[in-house]
Amino acid sequence: MITDGFFYIAVLVALAALMVGIENKFSSNRFLKFIPGIVLIYIGAAFLQTIGLFDNEATAPAYSTVKNALLPAMLMMMLLKCDIRSIIKLGPRMLGGYFVAVISIILGFAIVYLIFNQFYVADTWRAFGALAGSWTGGSANMVALQDILQVPENIFGYVLMMDTINYAVWVMFMFWLVPFAGAFNRWTKADTTIMDNGLAEDAGKMNDMQGTEFKHMMYLLGIGLLVSALATLAGNHLPALGDVFSSTTWTILIASVIGLILGQTRISKIPGALDVSNVMLYIIVALIASQSDFSQIAQAPIYLISGFLIMFIHLVIMLLLGKLFKYDLFTLGIASLANIGGMASAPMLAASYSRSLIPVGVVMALIGSFLGTYFGMFIGKILEIL
């Protein structure tokens, strides 16, 4: 078992490099064509954690230090050439997609609770209300709702397991869907003009990578890590707004705003930002996956089954409404992860489509951070009545 923080980080970075190499080496393979490298990294890191390679308690400081340093830096660099006007045009439809996701999650909890109510222990509705806060906002909402709904500790352990295992599988599934965006959008007949422009813009930026030099990489690393440090410092000193607008939320918001501002300066012309930010993205995904332990899947199976059924109902409703209202896969995916994944996951999924659309993930995750507690209370009340 690995207990040394540096060894832990080194193994994850080496794993990410290995998976990228496999993806590039066998890019023509039919299987790997539909399994992005980022999913391979997630599966690999989760597997290493499941077999007990990492001591989470001993490596926790290294995990939090590296992840908290790289996430703001990654978001800032990915936003350097963001087209804000395109994001504004997406507004109404993105909000519609977000509330479609919320409604589908509410229905998922209600339907599953009705079906399996007799198999649950007493007061499970309280625990599901807290979990709903996480799945419509984030983990901070769930913690707040534990006190609000007075969730018993033993039952809260079940939903913590659901929030780890079900969530991990869902995030992996969302990343796995990215290569199918074109086929899905043709099926829903979605207007993807804005997203296509973002992808074309990213392709143009990739061509600019040919001029990347050593000095450019140093500039980007220096600016990115400095912005991350300053945003973290400011976030830690800003007051929390309620139970959900934490220092982490402040940090990500500040780093994103700085990225948008720097995108209007000469800094945005530095080549290589896509490569550097992608390296950070892959390391962050490996770190997150290293906290996913699937060995607990045999414990309290009825709760895990319930979690997957809630997500299945959420998926079906999103697909049906996506077809009805002609939503693209990006909108539905970001709306879903802004609810179930929150601030850390939604922007990263947005980056997998187009880095120019990262602000959409940030804004939608912020909406969830504000409203998740109230949605959780609402769902808990519905389940109590049922």
Rounded to 5°, the CA angle 170-173-176 comes to 155
The 10s digit of each residue's pLDDT in 191-213 is 776 656 655 555 555 445 456 78
Amino acid at 283: I
Are 38 and 175 in contact by the 8 Å Cβ rule? The answer is yes
**Per-residue model confidence (pLDDT) at position 82:** 63
Are 339 and 276 in contact by the 8 Å Cβ rule? The answer is no
The alpha helices in 178-300, defined as continuous H runs, are 181-188, 193-208, 214-237, 247-262, 273-289
**Per-residue model confidence (pLDDT) at position 140:** 64
CA–CA separation, 315 vs 201, rounded Å?
A: 30
Give every residue of the chain whose pLDDT is below 50, as ranges: 206-207, 209
**Per-residue model confidence (pLDDT) at position 206:** 47
**Per-residue model confidence (pLDDT) at position 160:** 74
CA–CA separation, 127 vs 150, rounded Å?
A: 9
**Per-residue model confidence (pLDDT) at position 317:** 93
Q: How far is CA 96 from the centre of its chain?
A: 19
CA–CA separation, 138 vs 145, rounded Å?
A: 11
